[in-house]
Amino acid sequence: MRAVRVERVGGPEVLTVRDVEEPQPGPGEAVVDVSCSGVNFTDVYSRTGLYPNALPFTPGSEGAGTVSAVGSGVTDVRVGDRVGWVMVPGSYAEQAVVPADRLIPLSDAIDDETAAGALLQGLTAHYLVRTTYPVRSGDDVLVHAAAGGMGLLLTQLVKHLGGRVIGTASTPEKADLARKAGADVVVGYDDVPAAVREFTDGRGVAVAYDGVGASTFEATLASLRPRGYFVSYGNASGPVPPFAPLRLSQAGSVFLTRPTLAHYVAERAELLQRAEELFGWLRDGTLTVRITGRYPLEDAARAHADIEGRRTTGKLILVP
């Protein structure tokens, strides 16, 4: 079968398609024929080595498809089931081996493309607004990169929960998209704290969702209300450098957390419960996933160059 392989870490060019042996399921595992694989910034970090992996490896952290084989002891799924999965490496391929207890059954109401386009970022947006900081009606919320894959989902969910969104975006076209997703105000990155003060009558935001990382850290810290929540959930511009905890006190006794999806879906029951609510939002139109790019496996490098080069909005998928 064909799979994208990373044999050395580096730029997008290290993503190459190879013919590899068809995978066999071990005990507790299933083999899935992949119909779509989501492209995520997380995959960029794996490719560059920021998030280390043993070489060589097949990247890709989410997908959807049909179970084609199961190993011994598998009871959660059967051959022929349509499924999706997240936080299991290896989805940039025609087939993937996934622990059966990580597979999420898909109903007819959710097509494979929607599942592969929505699961990783949708479950992340779910835990960020429901659990990391439960957004309440009337909360003012800062969403960085509001036209990106995560940003569009966060914006829609904060509005659904009754919050007000001030978003950031680097171009007028992206700002327009974020506004269409519900953002009340969208600004550039030049003076975010001043824009936030104006938006909040000087109070600062209750929570800031910052997946941009290094380049926005200072502005985000200066945008929080006293005892506000700084949710640093990504590093699109590079990882945040070390800093002194005393600064959290000086910024208004604010809370800082650096969460990752794996710890919010570690138990199967929690994974399925979050997925169920996410699918409900997709079905009833609360949440729309904008799939803006479909690439064959051979163009994985182009997909990575596009997302890293800030040329994308919404969600990209690979179709093997």
Q: Which residue number, 35 or 168, has a Cβ lying nearer to ligand NDP?
A: 168
Length of the chain: 320
Taking the complex as a whole, the smallest distance from the CB of residue 71 to ligand NDP amounts, in Å, to 28
Question: Which burial class, exposed, middle or buried, applies to 126 when counting CB atoms under 10 A from its CB (0-12, 13-18, 19+)?
Answer: buried
Return the bridge partners of 17, or none: 4
Q: Which residue number, 199 or 209, has a Cβ lying nearer to ligand NDP?
A: 209
Binding residues vs ligand NDP (CB under 6 A): 40-42, 120-121, 124, 145, 147-151, 169-170, 174, 211-212, 215, 233-237, 259-261, 307-308, 310, 312
DSSP string, 126-153: HHIIIIIS---TT-EEEESSTTBHHHHH
Taking the complex as a whole, the smallest distance from the CB of residue 153 to ligand NDP amounts, in Å, to 8
Q: Which residue number, 111 or 308, has a Cβ lying nearer to ligand NDP?
A: 308
Q: What's phi and psi for 140, nearest 5 deg?
A: -90, 130
Taking the complex as a whole, the smallest distance from the CB of residue 210 to ligand NDP amounts, in Å, to 9
Q: What's phi and psi for 279, nearest 5 deg?
A: -65, -35
Residue indicated by tokens 């064909």: 2
Taking the complex as a whole, the smallest distance from the CB of residue 215 to ligand NDP amounts, in Å, to 6
Residue indicated by tokens 């580096």: 10
Q: Which residue number, 195 or 236, has a Cβ lying nearer to ligand NDP?
A: 236
How far apart are the C-alpha atoms of 20 and 37, rounded to whole Å? 18
Q: CA nearest 203: which of 159, 145, 142?
A: 142
Q: Which residue number, 82 or 144, has a Cβ lying nearer to ligand NDP?
A: 144
Taking the complex as a whole, the smallest distance from the CB of residue 67 to ligand NDP amounts, in Å, to 25
Helix (H/G/I), strand (E/B), else coil: 291: strand
